[in-house]
Amino acid sequence: MLGSLYTMMPVTFSGKASNPWNACIDSNNSSPQNLSIFVFSPAFASVGCYKFQLCLYTQGTLGGCVFGSFTVLCNPWCSADAVFIPYEDEREEYVLSDSGLLFMGTPMNPVSRPWSFDLYEPGILEACLDLLQVSPQHQMSKSKDYLKRNNPVYISRVVSAMINCEDDRGVLKGNWSEDFKEGVHPSKWTGSGDILRQWAKFGYNPVKYGQCWVFAAVMCTVMRVLGIPCRVVTNFNSAHDTNANLVIEEHYSETGQKLNYSKDSIWNFHVWVECWMTRKDLGSDMNGWQVLDPTPQQRSKGVFCCGPAPVKAIKYQCVDLPYDIPFVYAEVNADVHTIIWSQDHVVSFNIDTERVGSIICTKAVGFPRLQNITGDYKPIKSLSSTLSSRSSTVSDDSTLRRATSSKGVTVLLTLDKSPVPGEPIRFSVKVMNRQRVAKKMIVHLNAQAKEYNHSPSDTFWETHGVMQLAPMEVKVLQQQILPAQYNNVVGDNLINLAVVLEDTATHERVLAAEEFNIASPELIIKVADKDSIVLNKEHTATVTFINPFSHPVCGLLAVAGAGLISGKTQFRMQSLRPGGKVEQRITFTPSMSGVKMLHASLSLLNTNITVRGFKMVSVNSI
């Protein structure tokens, strides 16, 4: 029985029955007083918690009792199920894995953040089923909701709406302000378990606070728990196109300061999920990965949810199919119009057709690294526009470049390497005079701090000068920003660096800009006897941190690992001098076999900086 719905199953000895639901007596029963009965559910059974009632006919009298319950989930191992995924390694990754990596930062320097999905932790299955029970769809019509729960398209839309709390008793409340005093800063979360348990424990009131990666990671947990293959996806340079014209405008002053003139914006990254399912409503061409986005951005049929949108439909511009394909298409395909203003007049205009959706990625199957899936969403225009599928960071000898040309001058802005804390940000400006006349150029360089989803704040570094160019001459300016000048930008913040050149004779202007992050330092985790980790035995690990900053730091270290540590283990780190090293020994006793993630986070006090690290641990059953 599922609510008021029920089905009758005759118990047979053969297991063969005309009813899609059937039951049979175990032929190996050794005692007639102790019967084992197998119950077989059809592939189209609705997801939920069923009551099991046994009816007995004895001497012409019907009697019965409810003596148990069982939970039906989607089954990606069953070829008849709508979520069947044919490869075992993908089922291991997208259904069974209880940890993963979320990618953030910028397209040329993605930063991986460990996340614990906590699928098997106490209370998580119950919380995921509760999410369906408290949804508006269930409250309006329990029977109708139960009947529709045999369709992963329906389930995924319900879950997408229930992860946020804009229309219902959803799990998370979003907050993109600077004030998180009434809850937890989104960057402090390290797993889904604490969020889902807190939501269920306190009467299904929303947990404070989430941003896009938290919404997506929690939805990934719920979908995997319900048996639907799911993965977290990051779209770098994600367009937020408020007027649906597939154009994002960016505005700069004549001195290179980025201006907040437009409601449209480009988020340095945006995170959603993909779920694997058939689309019987659209035809087999649209089967496979579907985009779902629980971050509340716009309404879909009156509700803050997004998807499922077939990835194939996005690639081939089938924007008239359900659900929300035009919105997702714009996030990965909008054009960028860059405008320079001087005294309320437009003095330069440029169009970039490749910047938005420059890299779309997820965690690789079976490995802790980035997998580039941009080609699933759109044709790749150039090899240089994306990272290779095996790369997760820019190597030390790589450069970050942004070039722009005018009729007479080309300017190339180049970061020498990915910036790291405690070292100067070194970059060069290469200017090429492409005409056979000398030029005098005014040079403006400007750096602003910004968050991934906001326009930049005030300028924190700038310099101005004059450059003389002979005909056809190429000149390179070397510049650096010192650690003391960017100290407040380390952490999850980013930097918008721009150069504007003005030809003093023609007043023609050309701009090059790059947004980048300063990589946070990492925690190093070493596991003793890592090749002989076994169940139910105590093992040790060491977490190491070296202070790269020019000032002392102190903080709170938290270590966790689903299947390795029950809950979280916390330690206080006392003041550590610049260049100082601290080691913390921890113990853990594995409760589950398989590959598990041991992860740690160090929240530095009086800053917005959280230092993270992780180690994959292979636990043997014996």
Active site residues: 212, 270, 293
User: How far is 158 from 72, CA to CA, in rounded Å?
Assistant: 17
First to last CA, the chain: 40
Q: Other C-beta atoms within 10 Å of 2: how many?
A: 19
Measured CA distances, 578 to 422, 552, 584 (Å):
10, 6, 18
Task: List the one residue out of 414, 441, 430 whose CA is nearest residue 497.
Answer: 414
User: How far is 344 from 338, CA to CA, in rounded Å?
Assistant: 15
Per residue, what are the HEC states of 425-486? EEEEEEEEECCCCCEEEEEEEEEEEECCCCCCCCEEEEEEEEEEECCCCEEEEEEEECHHHH
DSSP string across 239-284: EE-TTSSSEEEEEEETTS-EE---S-EEEEEEEEEEEEE--TTT-G
Q: What residues pair up with 584 in beta bridges, in sequence order?
A: 543
Task: List the one residue out of 437, 455, 448 whose CA is nearest residue 499.
Answer: 448
DSSP string across 38-76: EEE--TTPPPEEEEEEEEEEETTEEEEEEEEEEEE---T
Could you identify the residue written with the tokens 């970059």? 427
Q: Other C-beta atoms within 10 Å of 390: how many?
A: 11
